Each structure stands twice: as structure tokens, then as C-alpha cells.
Amino acid sequence: MARTFFVGGNFKMNGSNSSIKEIVNNLNNASLDPNTEVVVSPPSIFLQTVRESLNKKIGVAAQNVFYKPNGAYTGEISVEQLKDSNIDWAILGHSERRTILEESDETVSLKTKVATEAGVSVIWCCGESLEEREAGTTIEVVSKQLASLKSHISDWSRIVVAYEPIWAIGTGKVATTSQAQEVHKAIREWLAKNVSDKVAEETRILYGGSVNEKNCSELAQQPDIDGFLVGGASLKPAFVDIVNAKQQK
């Protein structure tokens, strides 16, 4: 079964009312590959505005969700609040939250469990640091993150995996095509061995890490790269070129 190509745009903590409106208008007026699923993730303060004004064919993701249904959790956002605002995706496990905010594998897995069980799909992120890459432990690190996720969930149908080498996020450095494909292939093999052949075949695995309109086409041709999770470039008109990467030759 062919996996639908997927491109996510993570705005991170960027944007203003005017710039977000400009991004939305650009996407609404763009000619996007109809065979590519697109999801954008603005800061939480703009989630509802984006959902109400953006083309309904484009998904909208929160950049976080908590693993409790409600209560005294200042600053957090619940799955039910997302659903009430028609937000059907969340990005979880991004390295910036794992490292800066010290979210553990356990915390990320709990959030993913709660989100997916309640009907919110998740772009679940994993990846290694530069030190881990240089030590040759990339596959070991990513496998450990995957093992934690597996221990908490049973339904993988709402999960899109995003491999993001930490050393390539926002640095301008990009894993070579062969480096990216190698890890994506290893993730798919891990899923086949530890979950099922069906999950391994159907799960989309994205690459993230300084993806732009210049390098996306070559990456998109790899057999185990099913799309991208884009950071800074998602704030620019060139995001449309990345969405259309499969159409480029």
C-alpha cells in the first residue's frame, strides 16, 4: 500500500497576527500537490484563528498537549480543548521540548497515548544529538524512544513518526540523503520487528532538520522518507515548494 506523502509545518514560537494571516492566505491561494497531506502548527494563541481561516483540506496541529483531561495545570492545554476547537493534530516529543523543557520519553509517550486514544493524531518526534551521532549510537537512541512509545500505545494508526536529528534542527546542517534514509529504514525495520509488518508498512516516517526548497526533492525520492516536518521554512512562501516536493524532478 502506497503511503500518502506528508508535510508538516512547525511554526514554533514565531508569528504575529499579521504574519500568520499572510501565511494562511498564501497557503489558501497556492496550488498544492493533491496527493500530499499537509498539516501546519502555529503557536497555541493562533490555533483557532488558523483553523477557522485555513483551507479545510489542510490540517492544524497544536505544538503540545497535556496528559490530563483538565484541572490545575497552569499553562497546559488538554486534548478535549483541542477537539473542541477542531484541532485534530499535535506535535509531541520535539527535541526542543525534550531538551529545553526536559520532557522524558515517558512524558512524551503518555501525551501520545492520551492524544491518540481521544482521537487526536500525533506527529511523534525522535532523534539523536550530535554527540550521539558521533558516538555511533543513533539507532540505539531512536530505538529507545520508540520502545517507550510502544510500551504505552497499541494503535499506531494515528501516529506519524518524524525523525529529526537534533544537530540538524535550525542549524542549516542537513543529514545527507543516505544518512536520513539509513535511519528511516532502521525505524521501519524496528517497527516490523517489534510491532508488526503492517504497522511498519503503513506508518509514515518524516524527515526534519533544516529542510528547504533546495534539498527537499532529493530527500523525497528515498524509499523510506514519506515526507517532512519543516521548521523555519514553513514560515516562508517556499513552504509550498516543499509541499510539492514529490512533483519535482
So which residues are the catalytic ones?
Answer: 94, 164
Closest CA to 216 of 6, 43, 4: 6
- What lies within 8 Å, CB to CB, of 220 at 6+ separation is 5, 227, 228, 245, 246, 248
48 backbone dihedrals φ, ψ, rounded to 5°: -70, -40
DSSP, collapsed to helix, strand or coil, labels residue 247 as helix
Name the DSSP letter for residue 230.
E
Closest CA to 121 of 156, 152, 70: 156
